[in-house]
Amino acid sequence: MAGREGRKSSKNRPTTNPAPPCTLKLLMIGNIHTGKSSLVRNYCSKDSETDYNTSEIETHSIGLLDCMDKTLDINGQEVTLEIWDTAGTETYDSITANYYRGADGVCLTYSIIDNKSFDLLNVWMSRVHENTRLHTPVMLLGTKSDLEEGREVEKHRAQSYANEQEDIRYFFEVSIKNKDTIDQAMFEFSKFLIRNHSHEDQTSQVKTNTNQGCCH
């Protein structure tokens, strides 16, 4: 009968348990006035509108830092993003080490209407390399993409920069005026980080098993 081709009996099909809940620590970095805090609050808000209700956002202030949570469903797995924001304290070098420690991924921002914020991306990448584990994944975000008339950084220029940086895995232009752009960027990056975690866990398990085998 039509439509039956390719179907297999599920009688002996092995069942797979859903992956356990996972928490990822993400850092939001970049020059002041790139709109980092607004971007994070917009993303973590339950509202789809720009004038989000801040009372609905789960925020934790730790010293000079803000941490906001967002829970996603990625292929059936519950993934909680802990998004850390410097909240205007970018010049306080004393917070750097603690802020970067244990990061699973980094969101590096610049404003498309501020050439200086783009020119200083190398400074921020240096901080990432100095304070995180080797090859921590980075996503480059060009903010305020709705302000096309004031654009100073062309998209192809940012794309070229991202291609040149080994640790930048994704590049998106985003705007709080279009929440879908932020949702897409964060979802794609989160999926990558989950796959990265799984690969690291498998590699660690192989190393552990190999070490155990050497002892016999």
What is the tens place of the pLDDT at every residue in 138-157? 999 999 999 999 999 999 99
Give dist(CA 212, CA 208) in Å, integer: 6
pTM of the model: 0.78
Q: Where exactly are the structural domains of the chain?
A: 22-194
| Residue 201 pLDDT greater than 60, yes or no | no
| Residue 8 pLDDT greater than 60, yes or no | no
| Residue 70 pLDDT greater than 60, yes or no | yes
| Mean pLDDT confidence for 39-60 | 60
Amino acid at 98: N
3-state SS record for the chain: CCCCCCCCCCCCCCCCCCCCCEEEEEEEEECCCCCHHHHHHHHHCCCCCCCCCHHHCCEEEECCEEEEEEEEEECCEEEEEEEEECCCCCCCHHHHHHHHCCCCEEEEEEECCCHHHHHCHHHHHHHHHHHCCCCCCEEEEEECCCCHHHCCCCHHHHHHHHHHCCCEEEEEECECCEHHHHHHHHHHHHHHHHHHHHHHHHHHHHHHHHHHHCCC
Pick the CATH number of 22-194 from 3.40.50.300, 3.30.420.40, 3.80.10.10, 3.40.190.10: 3.40.50.300
pLDDT band for 202, please (50, 70, 90 cuts). Answer: very low
> Rounded mean pLDDT of the chain?
80
The pLDDT of residue 45 is 84
